[in-house]
A and B are shown apart, each in its own frame.
Chain A
Amino acid sequence: MTVELAPPPPGRSAAADRAETRRRRVPYLLLAPGLVWLFIFYVIPLFQLLRMALTTGNLQAGYVFDWVWENFTQVFTTYQPQLLRSLVFALATTMITLLIAYPLAYAIAFRGGRYQSLFLLLLLMPLLFPFLMRTLAWRIILADQGVVVQTLQNIGLLPSNGRLLATGWAVVAGLVYNFLPFMALPIYVSLEKIDNRLIEAANDLYSTPFTAFRKVTLPLSMPGVISGSLLTMIPAAGDYVNVELLGNPQQAMMGNVVQNKFLNIIDYPAAAAISFTLMVAIVILVLVYVRSVGTEDLVA
């Protein structure tokens, strides 16, 4: 920058200073409502949740804050299977949903032609029906006398007395079904944005269609894959409805434990500790996933 030779006239400088201060304040003023909202409805409850997790007592006698770490330790002892199952089911759901949703989104984006909007509408249509209804419908689809089970038994993939309902498969199937639109939509959006000339350029530079997909289309659609995965993985890890309707207590996930503690046993401290642990576990899972998929090379 240039050297300042003389101080600016004092009157103007003060006005300019005030304008400058005001300008600097604007972003914070604009952020303020959101920050207040977040503080009241997120930070404070989160703090209360953590505090509750460290208390002891019951609803009748009242709760006493006493640094009770046992609530946390039991998550890793008593509820370790449920915690692991939550993470495994969430990961499996994400992977299977991704495998189904990517080709689906690809087909709509590149082969949909003038029917693109219609296909998108069809994709979103199930969301117009209540979540519970849709999940209950899967009980009929996967029923012991249903078409799916019969077919699998006939071709020998399932023993003659085997069943799908009340197994982990049914739970994951339900989760996959319920989260498919949330995976497919972001992927569709990122694929749809890709300029066809980039694919042509890759073909021009000696890429077969498959190499062009691997080196250009796939990397450019990663933002969609990541947001879709997060929209699937996070709610799937905390889900309890699918186990409730399609599984049995043997497939209980963390969500079921929390639900039980909160609503049936009314053990708030344990429920809070489990919720908090589950939250941390999901954050770690997400970080590992995003890292392994790799975002550094991506453009927004």
Chain B
Amino acid sequence: MDTRTDIPAVELDGVTKEFADFTAVYELNLAIGENTFFALLGPSGCGKTTTLRMIGGFEDPTTGVIRLHGEDVTGQKPYQRPVNTVFQSYALFPHLTIFENVAFGLRRRGVEDAEVKRRVNEMLELVQLTPFIKRKPKQLSGGQQQRVALARALVNHPRVLLLDEPLGALDLKLRKEMQIELKRIQQEVGITFIHVTHDQEEAMTMADVIAVMHQGRIERMGEPTEIYEDPRTAFVAGFLGASNMMSVTVVDRGSGAVALNGGTRLHIDPSKLDGGDGTVRVGVRPEKLRIYPIDEVSLPPNVLQGTVTDASFIGVSTHYLVEADHIGEIAVVAQNLDDHHHRPGDPVKVGWLPQHCFVVA
């Protein structure tokens, strides 16, 4: 991301936010590049919304500095910042028409009437709401209200757009559509979006960069594939998709050989063992595992033996639960490529490649 511009669009420098009885955000350092779709991901109470509200100016940090395009905006009021927000549950003005809702920011800045009309109409076209211009917010569906909220913020050409769980109130199908729509609009208008969500799939679908927050800190930040493949902490591994975790003892750091409790040898990428002590926790994603008949001979380096306890056919894949020796139940997602359907009770082998293992702190 550093290649796009030298000065980050948003920069948080040692930002801490304390409330009366708890610390919501702790010593946060964060730099978000120009034109980035950035997702702040985490469970409720992790501090992601507080972080967003501090960028928007709705909360002042207890300590630390917030910069927008290099300019220190700490302590500036929301109406002084070149930032707009799409609020959770939209916060549309119920007494104004859709047109006046979208025109609100332009009018406050004294943009002249003809220009307001032109820009609002243009924006309503972008979000496909032109026919509803004279309606009141209550007369629109949730998805339409969501798009009004987006238009109301974007029409001001903010340098950064903040989105606070914008899709939370929509049903699944609409949410999927809006995810693609939001991504398209972000690319079209070319400004930085900071998107707060607790939905990991939503974050991964849209974001260029994801920061996973936990208890007021950023646990892991990076491109979606990067943090999915190498989550580094047990929390991130568990929050971003499913994973099978196991404790292993390092046998030979140089070759990446480790041993399970019962002595079974496994192999992992030696570079990931840096700093790993005698015992480390390793994980592997269910879809990285392959399931084999018990008599299969051509197997990958890491193999476990076990018994199928559950098999559910999803269509595109089959989800297995396998009771493996020494580690308990592991989840396997198998692509339906061949005719091997294993049934509960079948003895099987489960294998994977060393590079698909990750190590968590």
Chain A residues within 8 Å of B, Cβ to Cβ: 195, 197-198, 200-208, 211, 215-216, 219-220, 297-299
Q: What sequence of 0s and 1s flags, for each residue 44-70 of chain B, a beta carbon within 8 Å of any chain A beta carbon?
A: 000000000000111000000000000
**Interface membership of B347, Cβ < 8 A:** no
Is B85's CB under 8 angstroms from A204's CB?
A: yes
Chain B residues within 8 Å of A202, by CB: 93, 104
Known pairs A203-B79, A206-B109, A207-B104 / 11 extra A-B pairs, C-beta < 8 Å: A201-B92, A203-B58, A204-B79, A205-B108, A205-B156, A206-B105, A207-B79, A208-B77, A208-B79, A211-B108, A220-B95
Chain B residues within 8 Å of A204, by CB: 56, 58, 78-79, 83-85, 87, 153
Chain A residues within 8 Å of B267, by CB: none
Is A200's CB under 8 angstroms from B95's CB?
A: no
* A205-B94 contact, Cβ under 8 Å, with A197-B89, A299-B136, A299-B138: no
Chain B residues within 8 Å of A208, by CB: 77, 79
Is B84's CB under 8 angstroms from A216's CB?
A: no
In Å, the complex CA distance between A216 and B105 comes to 13
Chain A residues within 8 Å of B17, by CB: none
The residue of chain A having its C-beta at the shortest distance from the C-beta of B138 within the complex is A299
Chain B residues within 8 Å of A219, by CB: 95
* A201-B85 contact, Cβ under 8 Å, with A298-B95, A299-B95: yes
Is B87's CB under 8 angstroms from A299's CB?
A: no
**Interface membership of B91, Cβ < 8 A:** yes
Chain A residues within 8 Å of B94, by CB: 198, 220, 299
Q: Would you give the shortest CB distance from A202 to chain B, in whole angstroms?
A: 7
Is A198's CB under 8 angstroms from B109's CB?
A: no
Partner of A201, one of B57, B83, B93: B93
Chain A residues within 8 Å of B108, by CB: 205-207, 211, 215
In Å, the complex CA distance between A219 and B94 comes to 10
Chain A residues within 8 Å of B159, by CB: none
Chain A residues within 8 Å of B88, by CB: 197
In Å, the complex CA distance between A203 and B59 comes to 12
**Interface membership of B152, Cβ < 8 A:** yes
In Å, the complex CA distance between A204 and B76 comes to 12
Is A206's CB under 8 angstroms from B95's CB?
A: no
The residue of chain B having its C-beta at the shortest distance from the C-beta of A208 within the complex is B79
In Å, the complex CA distance between A208 and B77 comes to 9
Q: Would you give the shortest CB distance from A198 to chain B, in whole angstroms?
A: 5
* A197-B95 contact, Cβ under 8 Å, with A202-B104, A203-B77: no
In Å, the complex CA distance between A202 and B56 comes to 12
